[in-house]
Amino acid sequence: MTRIIDGNEIADRITADLEPCLETLADAGTTPGLATVLMSDDGASETYVSMKRQACNDLGIESIHHELDPDAPADALFDRIDELNDDPAVHGILVQLPLPDHVDRQAVLERIDPQKDVDGFHPENVGRLVTGTPRFKPCTPHGIQKLLEAEGVETEGADVVVVGRSNIVGKPMANLLVQKSDTGNATVTVCHSRTDDLAAKTRDADVVVAAAGVPELIDGSMLSPGTTVIDVGVNRVDADTEKGYELVGDVEFESAKEKADAITPVPGGVGPLTITMLLYNTIKAASLQADVDVSL
């Protein structure tokens, strides 16, 4: 019987574990603050930011929101980041991606104080992750790690195929899984658009993490029986619904479910964990800046 992994339930458990950390910080006079910066009028980005803000409010993290006109010069964003870097009430800074074409995304990520970089995208934090001394693990791969742990999926010695090599999901996912640690020790293959015979790779995997951004790229015929399937993809496809679209993952759920031992649905799988790990990183940032040990 295939297990459908309930990301919401796992996220709720992790969130509950964060509450005592907030109490410890409150006792020390600190309320964690997360600044979100939106420079886009893309509907999906607006939705993601409002979900993150809501999650902060629900848990008791101060949400500080900034919006910039997408046509504003890049310097307006740099100036705003500088202000947030200097603001002691702001412990974490999240600039919602994607950014307008005229803004150099890498320069933006490097402008954020690495101590406040709760996305974990600053080169200093990427370097720390790769060398096995992480400060902030990027939220989506960290959430997947937590999800695998919660489901009792053994990564040690497992063959894991990560489909996608982005700096946000694929590469940090591979880096986490390959670390010499209890939640790593996997043998990792990273696939991308130039990979020859993707199906041959995924069929050899014990765990497949699909993060390609291609609707239903991976179907049941590409999986061996007993695989754990983690579907990161969130793709809007045209559909006869009220909104005119529906969300599908990078995995063709129905056929993959027939082969998988366990599988994440879309929505309700990886997504909730991504937001939870943002809360986790914000609390960790506050604890580091306030020099209060909350054991994260």
Binding-site members for NADP(+) are 164-166, 234
Report how far apart, in Å, the C-alpha atoms of 188 and of each of 169, 222, 259, 273 are. Answer: 14, 17, 21, 22
H or E stretch at 20: helix 7-27
Q: Is 52 a catalytic residue?
A: yes
Q: Does 192 bind ligand NDP (CB under 6 A)?
A: yes
**How crowded is the C-beta side of 170, counted as CA atoms within 13 Å?**
17
- The Cβ of residue 281 has, within 10 Å, a number of other Cβ atoms equal to 28
The pair of structure tokens assigned to 235 is: 């793709």
Q: Do the Cβ atoms of 98 and 39 come closer than 8 Å?
A: no
Nearer to ligand NDP by C-beta: 96 or 274? Answer: 274
Question: Which position among 28, 76, 214, 247 is part of the footprint of ligand NDP (CB under 6 A)?
Answer: 214
Cis peptide before 73 (omega within 30 of 0): no
Nearer to ligand NDP by C-beta: 164 or 220? Answer: 164
What is the smallest separation between the CB atom of 52 and ligand NDP, expressed in angstroms?
11
Closest residue to ligand NDP, judged by C-beta, is 166
Spell out, one character per residue from 123 to 142, where the chain touches ligand NDP: x when CB under 6 A holds, - when not.
Answer: -----------------x--
Nearest to 146 by CA among 283, 6, 295, 11: 11
Question: Which position among 60, 100, 114, 213 is part of the footprint of ligand NDP (CB under 6 A)?
Answer: 213
Residues contributing to the site for ligand NDP (CB under 6 A): 140, 163-166, 168-170, 191-195, 198, 211-214, 217, 232-235, 270-271, 274
What are the catalytic residues?
A: 52, 96, 119
